[in-house]
Structure formats: C-alpha cells, structure tokens
Chain A
Amino acid sequence: MGNRKSVAALTTTEKANFVAAVKALKAQTTGRNYDWFVRTHMTYFSTVSGIRYAHQSPSFLPWHRQYLTEFENALKAHNPAVDLPYWDWTVSRTTTGAPFTSDFMGGNGQNGNGPVTTGPFAGATNWRINVSSTTSTSLRRAMGGTLPTSTQVNQVLGYSTYDASPWSSSTSSGMRNRMEGFLAPNIHNSVHVWIGGHMAQQDSPNDPVFFLHHANIDRLWSRWQTTWGFGTNRYLPGGNTTGVLDVNEVMQPFGNTVTSVLDHRASFTYV
C-alpha cells in the first residue's frame, strides 16, 4: 500500500526519485507516457460521447482519483519506491518554498510570466513541452494572486451533500462544485490560476505541479469521505441521469466504475 506524503515532508532522495521517474515517463516511447497524460486530460476536459467525465460534473473527483492512480502506477513502473506526493497550499504558500525549490519543481517563470529558470524542469532541453495550446517548448509559470485558505477548505468539507442537480458548473449547493471552483469559495480552479503559465491552460498537466495539486484535491476529498463516509450512498447522483456519471457507471478511458475508486484506503493513504 502506498503512502502519499506532503511535498514538505519529502527527503532529498524521495524528491530526486520522483523527478527521475517523471522524466523517465516523459522519455518513454511506448505505452502511456507523460504526454499521453497531457493529451488525455485535454480530451476529457470536454464532453466525450456526450458525457462530462472529468470536469464540471460529479465525477470530477473520482475521475481525477483514477487519473492520478494511473499516473502513479506509470511512475512506479520506472521506480516502485515512488509514491505521488501532495502539495498542501494552505500550508506551503510561497513561490520559493516547497514544492517550488530548485531540487524539485523549480520556481516562478522569468520576470513573473515566462519560462521557468530554476530546477529540473527549466528549459526545453530538460523538459520539452510537446502537446500545447502555445508555441512555447519550455515550461512557463506566472505565479501570483490568491491561494485558498484552510478556513475555506474546512468550510467546503463541511457540506455533507456531495453534489446536486444540474450536476454541472452551475450547481449552486453541495461540496463538489465548491471544491472544483465554479461556486465560491473556489478551491481547485484558483490554484491553477495562481500558478499560471501552462497550469492555467487546457494542457495544464504539462506542469508536473499539476499532479501534486490534484493529489491534494484528492486528499481533501478523502478527508470529506472520512467525515461523511466512503460508501456508495455518499456519491451523487445515484442513478437515472444523462450526460454525467451515476455511481455505478464506467469512467472512460480507464474502464472502471465510480464505485471502484470511492474507498481508496486499501490502495493508498495520505500521511
């Protein structure tokens, strides 16, 4: 069973191992390599066959949970010792602290909006952007703005109802749309915007920080589940909807159901 740790708690070796596995996945020429994850996230941002799987829908959380597991397994194929860490931005809130150190994710973009200049992902030679909305072949960041606070996170985790009709960006109650961010206080979306550059774009997984951010979003969902329950009755909708996933329906392109990822505790835990 995997233990997913905070980026602030990683040892030098753990950081080096994670970076090396991410780069090995990028260099992989067969199977689901790093750019497959970038492309898949972009494809599933929109509706696929009339279904909103990954965004603006109830399955935002389970879809990304499975996406992270597939990514983590792809890293483990290169180094079984690697677990996916999470970035708790309610605690690590600066552009120079964890995870933005030169031995891990590197820092801000040049002049606050440009190519990253420090760390293992700086410049196209170290980390080449292949699948993107812009011509930049170097990873870019433009950090600034407002990160969610622990008070806001706790407020969102206090809503016992998982999600509500119309199961979309216009849902005005429940936990999911507040966590995703189309309803105040906006947790997930605001962190993408705070990092800026590639993280603000539809090809956001080009920035490896994407996976650390989403591991934290998944950790928060797990905290919500610890409070309100891991059972299938806690996910909504339970059935009879179109265009979004009911609890017993299959998540594409992974092929497993929402139900199958709800209780993750036998596979991995957050420490």
Chain B
Amino acid sequence: MPDMNRRDLLRYSAAAAVATATAAGVANLAAPGLAASDKPTAKDDRDFELDYKGKKIKGTHDKANKKHKVTINGKKLAVMELELPAAEDSAATITAVISALTHYEPFQLDEKDNRQGLKKLAQKAVDVLGDEELTPLAGEDHEHGR
C-alpha cells in the first residue's frame, strides 16, 4: 500500500476511535494544540501524565506501530520496543521497552501484569536524570530492528 494511503487510513481509524471513545464518555487524553504527529493513533488506557520527583512525565502507547512516546518536562525521550525470550530454549517472546536513558535495562510491557511498563521506564529515566534535563539527543529516534 502506498504510504499516503496508509497514513490516511491510520488517521481515519484514529479519528473513528477517538469519536467512539468520546461518545462512550471517556475523556480524550490528547491535549488540544498538539501537532497531528504527536497524537496517539488511538487512546490507550495505559497512557499516563503525572508529576514524579518534581518532573512532569507523560507517556502514550502506540501498540499498532510499536512506537511509544515518553516526554519528561515536555522533552522527548526516545523509546524502543524490543522482544526478549520468554524462557530458555523457547521460541516464545515477551515485549519490553528500553530508552535513551535506560538503555541496558528492559522494562516488560504488556496489557496484563506489565501494563505499567512504560510508566516504570519513565520513572527510572527521571531517577537517572536527577536534577538534569533531557537534551535533543535523548529524543532522536533510533530503530533497533527486531
């Protein structure tokens, strides 16, 4: 499928999903004024926005594209999804996330027991940051190629 069509399709799906959520009385978490590219494709009830150790952390999940977003005090922290072995000698995998600041420490992420994985990653990143802030380098996407 050409890129343009695929993007249009995603945008249409997202709009439909938001409309459904709003109709069902669920608040749309996407803040007004955000660029279209910053909006999640669909609301995910694991998304979060809170203060942690004096810093504002915000996370949106994008399960379909495996591209989750985290910001700390409004600055982007690149997050990468990767697959880990579920057990020794097993073909089954589990999903985890690492980031530019928590690069050697995968946090498991799913929709059951590890639904808070992205939030835990963001909190650990704040722990690593201490009294510092993220630089633009922390937000540069890089693909790990699963």
Instruction: Give A contacts to B, CB under 8 Å.
Output: 42, 45-47, 50-52, 55-56, 113-114, 131-136, 140, 142, 168-173, 177, 181-184, 188-190, 192-193, 196-197, 200-204, 243
Contact call B142/A201, Cβ cutoff below 8 A: no
In chain B, positions 85-142 with a C-beta closer than 8 Å to chain A are 85-91, 93, 100-106, 127-135, 137-138, 142
Cα A171 to Cα B91 in complex, Å, equals 8
B49 interfacial contact with A, CB 8 Å: no
15 A–B contacts from the bound complex (CB under 8 Å): A47-B144, A113-B128, A133-B134, A134-B128, A134-B138, A142-B127, A168-B83, A172-B86, A172-B87, A182-B82, A183-B84, A189-B104, A200-B105, A202-B100, A202-B101
- Say yes or no for B38: interface residue by CB 8 A criterion: no
Say whether A173 contacts B127, CB under 8 Å: no
Q: Is the interface of A mostly helix, strand, loop or mixed?
A: loop
- B145 interface residue (CB < 8 Å to A): yes
- Given the interface pairs A46-B144, A52-B144, A133-B137, the reply to whether A170 lies near B84 with Cβ below 8 Å is yes
- Residues in A whose Cβ lies below 8 Å from that of B82: 56, 169-170, 182
Asked whether, in the complex, the Cβ of B128 is within 8 Å of the Cβ of A172, the reply is no
Name B129's closest neighbour in chain A (CB-CB). A134
With A201-B128, A243-B145 known as contacts, the answer to whether A133 contacts B83 (CB < 8 A) is: no
- In the complex, the answer to whether A193 meets B104 with C-beta atoms within 8 Å is yes
Residues of chain A lying within 8 A (CB to CB) of residue B129: 134
For B106, give the chain A residue with the smallest CB separation: A182
Residue of B nearest to A243 (CB): B145
Cβ-based interface call for B143 (8 A):
yes
Q: Which residues of A contact B6 (CB under 8 A)?
A: none
Chain B residues with CB below 8 A from A197, complex form: 128
Expressed in whole angstroms, the minimum distance between the Cβ of B127 and any Cβ of chain A is 7
Q: Is the CB of B143 within 8 A of A134?
A: no
Please, which residues of chain B bring their CB within 8 A of the CB of A52? Answer: 144-145
Chain A hits for B86, CB < 8 A: 172
Partner of A45, one of B84, B135, B142, B146: B142
Q: Which chain A residue lies CB-closest to B136?
A: A133
Closest to A180 in B: B104
